[in-house]
Amino acid sequence: MSEVKSTVFLCLQANDETRGVIEAIERDNEHASFDYQPGMVRITAPGTLTVRRETVEEEVGREFDLQELHINMISLSGHVDEDDDALVLSWDR
Amino acid sequence: MDIAVTKKKLGLKERYALMTRGLGWEPTYQSVDDVFPMDSFEGIKIHDWDAWEDPFRLTMDAYWKYQAEKERKLYAILDAFAQGNGHLTLSDARYINTVKLFINGLAPLEYMSHRGFAHIGRQFRGVGPRVACMMQSLDEMRHAQTQVHAISNYNRYYDGMANFRHHHTYLPYLQVPRSFFEDAASGGPFEFITAIGFAFEYVLTNLVFVPFISGAAYNGDMGAMTFGFSAQSDEARHMTLGLEVIKFMLEQDPDNLPIVQKWLNKWTWRGVRVLTLVAMMQDYMLPKRVMSWAEAWEIYFEENCGALFRDLARYGIVMPPCVEQVRKERDHLSHMAWCQFYQARGTNNFHVWLPSKEDMDWLSAKYPETFDQYYRPRFEYWAKMEEEGTPFEAATPPQQCQVCQIPTIFPVAGDPLTRAEHSCTHDGERFHFCSQWCQEIFEDEPEKYVQAKLGAHELYKGNLFGDADPTAEDFDPMAAAMAFLKLTPEDSGLHSDSRDAANFDLWRGLAKANEA
Ligand SMILES: [Fe+2]
Ligand SMILES: [Fe+2]
């Protein structure tokens, strides 16, 4: 990779369903920043961003299928790697 | 047949393998090449279709479940919007013109996209991309439908939307987005998915939906905000599909590199030209603005596409050369476009206005290098003409670029006071272009682009008169063209003179007070 560290991002609707998800992302990604725009939040992170199912479940207090994210996802960048436990966005492969 | 539900849930990867790859079969009485005749003529070489990975691993059953959920949410809000006179909660009646731009310019592209993906979902011989294209085809149909439904709540009250399909085909300014999609859909399946997946989804939709929809939210438009977010929730999957196809082509054979690079160059430029409309919408049409076009460009192109091109560099892909010019035009684009639409307001199906003093101060702050020097004096001059009762209006339609179909209003990059002129001769006929880049696209496939029907040119050729008889004594060419275009005086002109502005004020007044 070149010297410039590419950022990845995830835009989610800012609503009741995503509040816990956003909190979970905050807990698991210390390097991420959160930009609240009307109706949405844009989460950017240098390198990688991870959404972990376990952390989301702790935050929302119920079982959570990571594919539920599709309902409130607005946009993203980076390569996606998803399994049952985590959704990872990154430019490094 | 019902699919048996096992007690123990399968993992995502296993489920995906069974529900996607497991659905394909080897043909026995026809050759594979005969079943899929269209995925090789473009020259793209694929050796192993099974190497394809769908990153989201979405299976059809999960797809239906989540899409149904999106629809339930959307229609609940659309009902509330219609029942609660949502159109009167807008920040300002001028905002409605961005909705017009959307239904006329963008919603028909969603339908084109549906058709295109249905087509290539049939044409790829790999099962993984076929399933992904089928899902995208269904998504795009949903986008077209939900946008028409949502915006019909505006069409009941305001002008400029009732003939969106006809206008999309014939109004000169709408030929810009239309020609983009027709160009893509008449390419082969790999070019189509590169054009749409990369240029339309990855470059354009971020710049269209995110600022537009955030702008809708900011301007009190619940309906547009909701259908926008609902559609955009599918775009994350679409852009991932587009990028996956690009990587897949590049990984499969080194001979694919020059073809893919050519397409990226072409479609970056085609996409950016369509974005002219979005730039203008962001800087001039939103009464309450979210971010300037220049700021959106920095985030969604420089940062986001920059990251993509750095990533593709490992395959030998370089940033398209047109990007240099795009950077030079960044601080001019929206201003040039709004000036053009102001002058040509007689053939628009939305209303225009001159920026107020406050608007211009915002524009100077966002565009310190260009606005005060090149555009403020023009707007102030036109404002004076309006005050004096002699508003300026262009008397003739402009020349359009043979490829992107935008009027050839662009200056030489880096020299804002000289108009760029590019032309070439093909088969004894002269063709004009907005730029070197559109000319290069033309010269690569001239047989394709000579067929373009440019609105202004068709008018001069006499092809926009419908049933009117041009030899009749009292023949009025402009009236005949307007009737053919289904363009009424209420659809166009200045916002301040419009029926929309008067009605909005009247209805909002009624909504706030009791009748005496
Ligand atoms: Fe779409
Ligand atoms: Fe052009």
Distance from CA of A30 to the nearest CA of B (A): 21
Collapsing DSSP states into helix, strand and coil, what is residue A62? Answer: coil
Distance CA B117, CA B122 (A): 8
Ligand 1 centroid, distance to B72 Cα (angstroms): 18
Q: Is residue B157 part of a domain?
A: yes
Tell me how close the Cα of B66 comes to any Cα of chain A, in angstroms. 6
Residues in the 5 Å CB sphere of ion ligand 2: B 401, 403-404, 434, 438
User: Which residue of chain B has the CA closest to A38?
Assistant: B214
Domain-embedded: residue B14: no
Q: Does A16 touch chain B (CB under 8 A)?
A: no
Which chain A residue is nearest to residue B68, measuring alpha carbons? A71
Ranges of each domain in chain A: 7-90
**Is residue A77 a contact partner of residue A9, using CB atoms and an 8 Å limit?**
yes
- What's the Cα-to-Cα distance from B479 to each of B269, B343, B464, rounded to whole Å? 36, 19, 10
Nearest by CB to residue B69, choosing from A39, A71, A81, is A71
> Which position has the token pair 């962001």?
B282
**Centre of ligand 1 from the C-alpha of residue B305, in Å:** 20
Residues from chain B contacting residue A75 (CB–CB below 8 Å): 205-206, 209-210, 232, 235-236, 239
Residue by residue, DSSP assigns B31-83 as -HHHHSTTSSTT----S-GGG---TT---HHHHHHHHHHHHHHHHHHHHHHHH
Closest by Cβ to A84, choosing from B12, B239, B303: B12
**Residues linked to residue A13 through DSSP beta bridges, in sequence order:** A40
Give percent above pLDDT 90 in chain B: 64
Lowest mean pLDDT among A33-37, B262-266, B411-415: B411-415
Contact map slice: B 335-364 vs A, CB within 8 A: none
B368-398 pLDDT, tens digit each: 999 999 999 999 999 999 999 999 999 888 8
pLDDT digits (tens, 9 = 90+) for B117-136: 999 999 999 988 898 899 89
- The span from the CA of B433 to the CA of B419, in Å, is 12
User: B18 pLDDT exceeds 90?
Assistant: no
Mean pLDDT of B154-182: 94
Which contiguous run of DSSP H or E holds residue A10? strand A7-13
Domains held by chain B: number: 1
pLDDT tens, residue by residue, A22-76 = 999 999 999 999 998 878 899 999 989 999 999 999 999 999 999 999 899 988 8
Report d(CA B67, CA B145) in Å as an integer. 14
| DSSP SS3 for B289 | coil
CATH of domain A7-90: 3.90.56.10
Q: Is residue B29 part of a domain?
A: no
Q: Which of A53, A65, A32, A73 is nearest to B238 (CA)?
A: A73
Asked whether the beta carbons of B182 and B224 are under 8 A apart, the reply is: no
The answer as to whether B473 is a domain residue is yes
CA B497, chain centre distance (Å): 28
- Three-class DSSP category at B236: helix
Which tokens sit at B459?
């008018």
Provide the residue type at B412 as one letter: V
- How distant is the Cα of A17 from the closest Cα of chain B, in angstroms? 12
Give the torsion sign (CA, A53, A59, A65, A68): negative
How far is B452 from B445, CA to CA, in rounded Å? 12
End-to-end C-alpha distance for chain B, whole angstroms: 66
Residue B103 pLDDT greater than 90, yes or no: yes
Q: Is the pLDDT of residue B180 over 70?
A: yes
Among residues A90, A73, A82, the alpha carbon closest in space to that of A52 is found at A82
One-letter identity of residue A55: T
Q: What is the pTM of this model?
A: 0.91
HSE on the CB side for B29, CA within 13 Å?
0
Q: How far apart are CA B46 and CA B119, in angstroms?
A: 19
CB B444 within 8 A of CB B270: no
Question: Which H helix or E strand runs over B108?
Answer: helix B107-123
What is the C-alpha separation between B103 and B111, in angstroms, rounded? 12
Distance B235 CA to ligand 1 centre (A): 7
Q: How far apart are CA A28 and CA B66, in angstroms?
A: 25
Residue of B nearest to A77 (CA): B304
Q: What is residue A1's predicted lDDT score, i.e. its pLDDT? A: 42
DSSP string, B131-163: HHHHHHHHHHHHHHHHHHHHHHHHHTT-SS-TT
Q: Which ligand neighbours the alpha carbon of B228 most closely?
A: 1
The answer to whether B433 and B402 have CB atoms below 8 angstroms apart is: yes
ipTM: 0.83
The domain in which residue B403 lies consists of 49-515
* pLDDT for the residue numbered B301: 85
Per-residue pLDDT at B421:
93
Q: What is the pLDDT of residue A38?
A: 78
Report the CATH number that the domain containing residue B398 is assigned in CATH: 1.10.620.20
Mean pLDDT value across chain B = 90
Alpha-helical segments (H) within B413-452: 436-444, 446-449
Give the model's pLDDT for residue B481. Answer: 92
> CA B19 to CA B68: how far, in whole Å?
19
Cα(B444) to centroid(ligand 2), Å: 14
- Please tell me the distance in Å from B363's CA to the nearest CA on chain A: 20
Measure the CA–CA gap between B415 and B402, rounded to whole angstroms. 23
Best probe of the A interface among B13, B56, B315, by most A CBs < 10 A, is B56
Paired strand residues for B387? none
Residue B2 has pLDDT above 70, yes or no: no
Assigned domain for B94 exists: yes
Regarding beta strands A73-77 and A7-13, do their DSSP bridges make them parallel or antiparallel, or are they unpaired? antiparallel
Q: Could you read off the pLDDT of B323-376 as tens digits, one per residue? A: 999 999 999 999 999 999 999 999 899 999 999 999 999 999 999 999 999 999
Is B333 within the bounds of a domain?
yes
- Mean pLDDT lowest among A23-27, B84-88, B424-428, B447-451: B84-88
Q: Does A37 touch chain B (CB under 8 A)?
A: yes
Instruction: Say if B252 falls within a structural domain.
Output: yes
Higher pLDDT, B395 or A92: B395
Q: Is A15 an interface residue toward B (CB < 8 Å)? A: no
| Angstrom distance (rounded) from CA B328 to CA B484 | 39
Summarised one tens digit per residue, pLDDT across range B211-222 is: 777 788 888 887
Contacts of B311 in chain A (CB under 8 A): 6, 79, 91
φ/ψ of B396, rounded to 5, equals: -130, 150
Tell me the two tokens of residue B59: 């299976």
| CA atoms of B127 and B18, how far apart (whole Å) | 11
Q: Measure the CA–CA gap between B478 and B470, rounded to whole angstroms.
A: 11
Pick from A75, A78, A82: CB nearest B235 = A75
Q: Do B236 and A70 touch (CB under 8 A)?
A: yes
Q: Are B338 and B371 in contact (CB under 8 A)?
A: no
| B37 within domain boundaries | no
